[in-house]
Amino acid sequence: MMKVTFILAGLLIITAALPSLAAGDAKRGSEIYERCMGCHAVGREVVGPDHAGLFGRKAGTLPGYDYSPAMRRFGVVWDETTLDRFLTNPRAVVPGTKMGFAGIRDAQERTDLIAYLKEATAVQ
Pick the CATH number of 23-120 from 3.40.718.10, 3.40.50.1220, 1.10.760.10, 1.10.645.10: 1.10.760.10
Contact partners, residue 42, CB within 8 Å, separation at least 6: 50, 51, 52, 120, 121
SS3 category, 33: helix
Mind listing the pLDDT tens digit for each residue in 8-56? 444 444 434 344 445 899 999 999 999 999 999 999 999 999 999 999 9
Look up the pTM and report it: 0.80
How do the residues of the chain divide into helix, strand and coil, expressed in percent and rounded to 5? 50, 0, 50
Domain ranges of the chain: 23-120
Averaged pLDDT for residues 106-120: 97
Measured between alpha carbons, how far is 43 from 65 in angstroms, rounded to an integer? 13
